[in-house]
Amino acid sequence: MKIVIAPDSFKESLTAKQVCRAIETGFKRVFPDASYDLIPVADGGEGTVQSLVDATNGQLIHLKVTGPIAQPVDAFYGWLGDDSNTAIIEMAAASGLHHVPASLRDPKKTSSYGTGELIKAALDQGAKKIIIGLGGSATNDGGIGMLSALGIQFIDKHGQLIETNGAGLHHIDAIDINGLDKRLTSCEILVACDVDNPLCGEHGASRVFGPQKGATDEDIQYLDIGLKHYGQCIKQQLNIDVLNQAGSGAAGGMGAGLIAFTNATLKPGIDLVLDAVQLSQYMPNTNLVITGEGRIDNQTIYGKTPMGVAKIAKKFDIPVIGVAGSLGKHHQAVYSCGIDAVFACIPGVMPLEQAFAEAQTNLENLSENIAKCWSINPCNSTLIKYYSQS
């Protein structure tokens, strides 16, 4: 019998790789001779770098970069272990909200410069392909900080360089792209983007995501005007319209910056990750697929890891089981999207801290119980005997 285990991390308790191993441990108590393929995955957000590094036996590269408020921060990117010269970057590693104390959060002042430094470091290492996960950013600068780190100059009406932050967008008069790192033209850039927000307006970057970054109502209006001016400058000087393009508002307008100044392609995060780990190649002759995430609820169906895994499994007509730390409201929505059954691993009422601390043991025990249920089915038993003898 062959079982594919392809979950996301359980946030704050287990990495995706640890989730894989816990499920395998539980199943091996019942099926010690089965074949197991462990494929830690993610959906493009937090944990994506670690998942892809683990899945490909790659490595994490640690370095200091410029944080959102111009202070040095410890950051990282991943280098995949598949000989493809592929780097994987999470924007939040350099420009994430967690780098800014709550009392200092102000998207008028934060910059994505450190993300550009990560991209440059990957190019210096020889990257021919870079996957960038958007999300969790502290910025609303349209990506001008990142682009400045890569050689673009944003100039005001007095011929001076502007501050590359949210407030600086208002002062752009000219954009000099002559210094843009030439290596970007030959580097494939894929952007994990799970939102389709435009750059400006009611559904734009400032209005939708600004409040969580510390923006007041007055700030939101100010930032939105700045992004609109930025979009108009891009249209006038590069003849590229980013104002209404889906995804341009992602990560404080980082989507727009990548679309306009690099050859980036925006794709759903889970699709990028599953392509990178080549999940489909593990499916032939598989009897069961197990996936999961920390919480399965009605939001899971919107591009989260379990849905991406289930979509591929169903192309091969393979049963899919979902496991989670907890099940949320309307989790039954996943049943119409390819998952056949879901289970929560918490055995009873307990404090959150205890649930995190005991996550591995609880997931191992849950997996053992699922395996015992799987073994009861006469059809499955026949398959088990067949594959154990072949």
The mean of the pLDDT values for the chain is 93
Q: What DSSP state is assigned to residue 10?
A: B
41-62: average pLDDT: 90
Give the model confidence (pLDDT) of 355-373 as tens digits: 899 999 999 999 999 999 9
pLDDT of residue 69: 97
Residue 182 CB coordination number (10 Å): 10
120-138: average pLDDT: 95
Rounded Cα distance, 374 and 34, in Å: 13
- Res 15 pLDDT > 80: yes
pLDDT of residue 47: 84
pLDDT of residue 380: 62
Residue percentage of the chain with pLDDT more than 90 = 82
Q: Which residue has the tokens 């089915």?
A: 377
Question: For the chain, first and last CA: distance in Å?
Answer: 10
Q: Which residue has the higher pLDDT, 383 or 151?
A: 151
pLDDT of residue 138: 96
Give the three-state DSSP class for 40.
coil
- Res 196 pLDDT > 90: no
Give the model confidence (pLDDT) of 87-96 as tens digits: 999 999 999 9
Rounded Cα distance, 263 and 189, in Å: 6
Give the model confidence (pLDDT) of 62-84 as tens digits: 999 999 999 999 999 999 997 78
Angle, in degrees to the nearest 10, between helices 305-315 and 269-276: 60
The full set of domains in the chain, from first to last, is 2-40+283-389 (3.40.50.10350), 48-270 (3.90.1510.10)
pLDDT of residue 378: 55
pLDDT of residue 389: 40
Q: Which residue has the higher pLDDT, 272 or 113?
A: 113
Question: Which two structure tokens, joined as six digits, stand for 82?
Answer: 């598949």
Rounded Cα distance, 333 and 236, in Å: 45
Predicted TM-score (pTM) of this structure:
0.84
pLDDT of residue 276: 87
- Res 385 pLDDT > 50: no
- Res 388 pLDDT > 60: no
Secondary structure element (H or E) that encloses residue 291, with its range: strand 288-296
- Res 381 pLDDT > 70: no
Rounded Cα distance, 128 and 122, in Å: 9
| Confidence band, pLDDT 50/70/90 cuts, at residue 122 | very high
- Res 390 pLDDT > 90: no
Give the model confidence (pLDDT) of 253-308 as tens digits: 999 999 999 989 999 989 999 998 999 999 999 999 999 999 999 889 888 899 99
In degrees and rounded to multiples of 5, residue 240 shows phi and psi of -120, 125
Rounded Cα distance, 2 and 284, in Å: 9
pLDDT of residue 103: 94
Q: Which residue has the higher pLDDT, 45 or 327?
A: 327
pLDDT of residue 44: 82
Q: Of the ranges 71-75, 192-196, 218-222, which one carries the lowest mean pLDDT score?
A: 192-196
Give the model confidence (pLDDT) of 326-345 as tens digits: 999 999 999 999 999 999 99
Rounded Cα distance, 135 and 91, in Å: 7
| Confidence band, pLDDT 50/70/90 cuts, at residue 379 | low
pLDDT of residue 45: 80
